[in-house]
Amino acid sequence: MISILGGELLSSLGAGEERIAALRNGRAAPDTIAVEAFADQPLFPYYLIDNSSRVARADHIEEYLQNVTENLFSRQFSGSSPPANTGVFLGSSSIDYSLTRPIEQIIDGLDPGKLPGNRVGGGFYADRIMQRFGLSGPSLTYNTACTSSINAFMDAAAMLECRVIDYALVMGLELSLPVIVEGFALMQLLSPDVLRPFGQKRNGMILGEAVSAVLLCRSDTRSSNWHYLGGESCCEIHSVAGSDPGGKGIAQVIRQSLSDAQVSPSELTALKAHGTGGELMDLAEMRGMEMAFTDIPDYFSLKPYIGHTLGGCGLAELVLLMECVDNGFIPATPHAEPLDEQFTSPPVRTNMDVTHGRFMLNYFGFGGNNTSCILEKTKP
Amino acid sequence: MIFIHAAGIHNTMPRERQPDLAEELHTLTGKIYRRTDHFIQLAILGAHKAAGTRELPAQTAIYLTSGQGNISVFTRICEQRRQHNLLPKPVDFINLLSNSAGFYVASHLALDGKNLFVTHHHFPAQMALLAAQNDLRLGRQKMVLLGGVDEWIPRQELARKLLGVSPSTQLGEGSNWLLLNSEEKNALATVEVHPQLLSSSLLAALLSYAPRNTSLIFSHRFDREAVSGFMRRYPQCRLFSPEEDSGYYETHPLFTLSSFLRQEKGRLIHIDTDGNQYMIVTLANDLL
């Protein structure tokens, strides 16, 4: 069995008690960001980690990744070094953060000089973390749209099961880049005001930033109350731009996840939905849940709290879920009322008292990427 | 142990512009792939060659790896933004944000299993192979179609800078795929990636025990002098050289493995380096 030893998260919600209070009280307010490439430079809500430094996000990537890793390692290894045989698994919707600056400089006719690590591109940041913390296990960087970091998490578990490594550092990374905001704005997928998962008045998603880290090991190495039970990742070939609104692909991955984890639907304490607030995406997700379950479990979305953190959402939402349950609750889903009339089952309306149980986490993205996994927290 | 059941090679050294693959793809598959870019077309081409006439089980997983992904689309988007203040086309944006190439390969072959795009700073092909090896050994997958895709871009100076190679390095592009299975029946070869990086002393120990006539091949990161040094130290081994020329690209090890399958019978050790440590893959096709 795979133990989840702990997690760290940088997001718009701040840290520690401030973050838990926001989740408990259903309060989270996004900043705004201007899409400068549009003639009228419209403002869109955006959940930013730090709204004082939005100019050069890419310059902060290493700092953010190092911070979450340092905090995690210092808590888990009490100040001593992590074992060298630790693998690094990083998921992001952009493998090209490290390419952006040198490419822009060359386009502008400037010499980027000697590049850090002598090369940029896929795997750059995972390699920097390996070097910074003296890790020598294998590393992989995942780019599977909104399922990137949860796929990294699940493959890290497989690497542990195969005894290739003793510990796995899994990281999720998503920071605002102009091209990301412009792309989603252009496709008219962004809400101008509020993220309303499964709501009748939902009008799109709100993007967010998140940098997260989770430490895993086999349960025979170290024990924890949190475990990864299993999951599945599938490719739905309906459309490159989204899931089949009929829900077939989503139902398939949910069923396979339950089967892999050997968990029956009735054993699920709650389900963390993808819940983007997108019209078709929420429809597909609801149809998928209706097909997969006779009775849909209590479900909730965390995106009204930190926004849609794209490739980083897998791990960021996993960390938030663990923190909430460790603090005795599952948060209500704000702004979901009134519920879409087509849906029979609303998301969690008020905080649920939960201290342990089995939790399904679902993620769906561009490129037909569907992933579902199940975690368990045993009684404290 | 895992087994190679098929291989597909697409390997070129463009000189001035990216080859037009749409027509080649149409000739080969009889289909037209709309809304695809060069990187995606490369991926489909290589995967199609590996799959051949087989009808793969729908649950076959796709593990696609690349050093820089669809770098030409990303560069074009950056150029359009910087020089013309243009927004990205939606199709470019979607292809940039996700592993669209894997999606189109899955669509082409009607596969709905696991579909990953993974990469690594030094060893994208070997790390993807390691992920596949794990999943096959654990029984999490029965069959994996694993491909390495790297595209050549006309802005050679930019490409060399990003790759960290010398100005004289001839760059190439490739889409090389292996069909992997945990079952031996009808296999072409066994393949194994050593999961840990090796120090020079561990590599020396491993090579000193290599059976007579083991073939060695070294990645593009070794210069001629270094390769000669290895071959002098291990005279029981011989140097494998693919018949087909190729330029530098980061998933090149998959081209090498596939070339060995095509050309030779025996045992191959592929050796790559990050400058300090070594990563090895062994392939054998003489015992099956």
B7 contacts chain A (CB < 8 A) = no
Q: Measured between alpha carbons, how far is A369 from B74 in angstroms, rounded to an integer? A: 21
Cα separations in angstroms, A281 against A141, A220, A241, B253: 26, 40, 10, 39
From B134, B155, B188, give the residue that closes a domain: B188
Chain A residues close to B107, C-beta within 8 Å: 237
Residues 122-181 on A with a CB inside 8 Å of B are: 122-124, 126-127, 136-145, 151, 155, 158-159, 161-162, 164, 178-180
- Of the candidates B206, B183, B184, B182, which has an alpha carbon nearest to the alpha carbon of residue B194? B206
**Mean pLDDT across the stretch A34-47?**
88
Tokens found for residue B265: 């019978």
Mutate to test the interface with B, among A155, A181, A236, A308 (most CBs of B within 10 A): A155
- B192: β partners: B282
Q: How confident is the model at residue A20, as a pLDDT? A: 97
**Mean pLDDT across the stretch A228-235?**
97
Q: Please state, for a pLDDT cut of 70, what percent of chain A lies above it.
A: 98
Residue contact B82–A367, C-beta within 8 A: no
Q: How confident is the model at residue B237, as a pLDDT? A: 97
Ranges A35-49, A238-252, B217-231: which has the least confidence: A35-49
Mean pLDDT estimate for chain B? 95
Residue contact B68–A139, C-beta within 8 A: no
> Within this chain, do residues B112 and B200 fall inside the same structural domain, yes or no?
no
| Out of A93, A179, A235, closest to residue B115 by CB | A235
**Mean pLDDT across the stretch B43-48?**
97
Is it the case that residue A315 has pLDDT exceeding 70? yes
> Within this chain, do residues B147 and B262 fall inside the same structural domain, yes or no?
no
> Within this chain, do residues B265 and B277 fall inside the same structural domain, yes or no?
yes
Chain B residues close to A162, C-beta within 8 Å: 134, 137-138
Residues 311-340 on A with a CB inside 8 Å of B are: none
From B188, B215, B231, give the residue that closes a domain: B188
- Of the candidates A210, A180, A230, which has an alpha carbon nearest to the alpha carbon of residue A313? A210
Q: Measured between alpha carbons, how far is A334 from B196 in angstroms, rounded to an integer? A: 47
Residue contact A96–B74, C-beta within 8 A: yes
Is it the case that residue B1 has pLDDT exceeding 90? no
Q: Measured between alpha carbons, how far is A311 from A144 in angstroms, rounded to an integer? A: 7
CB B147 within 8 A of CB B177: yes
**Mean pLDDT across the stretch B193-212?**
96
Q: How confident is the model at residue A243, as a pLDDT? A: 93
Position with higher pLDDT, B123 vs A242: B123
**What total number of domains does chain B contain?**
2
> Within this chain, do residues B210 and B106 fall inside the same structural domain, yes or no?
no
Q: How confident is the model at residue A286, as a pLDDT? A: 98
Q: How confident is the model at residue A54, as a pLDDT? A: 54
Q: How confident is the model at residue B82, as a pLDDT? A: 85
Q: What phi, psi does A377 have (nearest 5°)? A: -115, 120
Calculate how close chain B gets to A342, using CA atoms only, in Å: 28
- A264-300 core/surface letters (b: 16 or more CB in 10 A; e: else): ebebbbbbbbbbbbbeebbbbbbbbbbebbeebbbbb
> Within this chain, do residues B122 and B223 fall inside the same structural domain, yes or no?
no
Is it the case that residue A107 has pLDDT exceeding 60? yes
Calculate how close chain A gets to B279, using CA atoms only, in Å: 10
Q: How many CB pairs under 8 A join A and B?
A: 218
B202 contacts chain A (CB < 8 A) = no
**Mean pLDDT across the stretch A318-329?**
98
Residue contact B112–A112, C-beta within 8 A: no
Chain A residues close to B158, C-beta within 8 Å: 103, 106
Residue contact B85–A37, C-beta within 8 A: yes
Tokens found for residue B124: 């994208």
B248 contacts chain A (CB < 8 A) = no
Residue contact B138–A182, C-beta within 8 A: no
Position with higher pLDDT, A106 vs A292: A292
Q: Measured between alpha carbons, how far is B192 from B239 in angstroms, rounded to an integer? A: 19
Q: Using 50, 70 and 90 to split pLDDT, how confident is the model at A115?
A: confident
From B134, B166, B188, give the residue that closes a domain: B188
> Within this chain, do residues B157 and B25 fall inside the same structural domain, yes or no?
yes
Mean pLDDT estimate for chain A? 94
Tell me, what amino acid is at B238?
Answer: R
Ranges A55-59, B161-165, B242-246: which has the least confidence: A55-59
> Within this chain, do residues B42 and B124 fall inside the same structural domain, yes or no?
yes
> Within this chain, do residues B231 and B107 fall inside the same structural domain, yes or no?
no
- Of the candidates B248, B239, B250, which has an alpha carbon nearest to the alpha carbon of residue B274? B250
**Mean pLDDT across the stretch B109-114?**
97
Nearest Cα residue in chain B from A189: B90
Where do we find the tokens 């986490």? A361
**Mean pLDDT across the stretch A261-273?**
98
Q: How confident is the model at residue A56, as a pLDDT? A: 58
Look at chain B and count its residues: 288
- The domain in which residue B265 lies consists of 191-284
- Of the candidates B248, B256, B254, which has an alpha carbon nearest to the alpha carbon of residue B216? B256
Tokens found for residue B162: 């990003």
Calculate how close chain B gets to A9, using CA atoms only, in Å: 22
Q: Measured between alpha carbons, how far is A167 from A260 in angstroms, rounded to an integer? A: 22
Q: How confident is the model at residue A59, as a pLDDT? A: 78
Please name each of the domains of chain A with its CATH number: 2-377 (3.40.47.10)
Q: Using 50, 70 and 90 to split pLDDT, how confident is the model at A80?
A: confident
- pLDDT tens digits, B164-176: 999 999 999 999 9
Q: How confident is the model at residue A320, as a pLDDT? A: 98
Residue contact B121–A368, C-beta within 8 A: no
> Within this chain, do residues B66 and B115 fall inside the same structural domain, yes or no?
yes
Tell me, what amino acid is at A22?
Answer: A
Burial of residue B237 (number of CB atoms within 10 Å: 0-12, 13-18, 19+): buried
> Within this chain, do residues B44 and B123 fall inside the same structural domain, yes or no?
yes
B31 contacts chain A (CB < 8 A) = no
| Out of B79, B118, B135, closest to residue A158 by CB | B135
Chain A residues close to B112, C-beta within 8 Å: 234-237, 249, 252
Is it the case that residue A55 has pLDDT exceeding 60? no
Residues 89-148 on B with a CB inside 8 Å of A are: 90, 93-100, 102-104, 106-107, 110-122, 124, 127-128, 130-131, 134-135, 137-138, 140
Cα separations in angstroms, B139 against A232, B102, B143, B183, B267: 13, 22, 10, 11, 26
Residue A102 parent element (H or E):
helix A97-107
Residue contact A143–B99, C-beta within 8 A: yes
Chain A residues close to B75, C-beta within 8 Å: 103, 107
According to DSSP, residue A298 is labeled P
- pLDDT tens digits, B52-100: 999 999 999 999 999 999 999 999 998 888 888 888 888 888 888 767 9
Chain A residues close to B109, C-beta within 8 Å: none
Position with higher pLDDT, A36 vs B78: B78
Q: How confident is the model at residue A114, as a pLDDT? A: 80
Q: Please state, for a pLDDT cut of 90, what percent of chain B lies above it.
A: 86
**Mean pLDDT across the stretch B115-144?**
97
- pLDDT tens digits, A135-155: 999 999 999 999 999 999 999
CB A272 within 8 A of CB A333: no
| CATH number of the domain within which B41 lies | 3.40.47.10
- Of the candidates A262, A211, A143, A156, which has an alpha carbon nearest to the alpha carbon of residue B101? A143
Residue contact A367–B158, C-beta within 8 A: no
Q: How confident is the model at residue A37, as a pLDDT? A: 81
> Within this chain, do residues B147 and B41 fall inside the same structural domain, yes or no?
yes
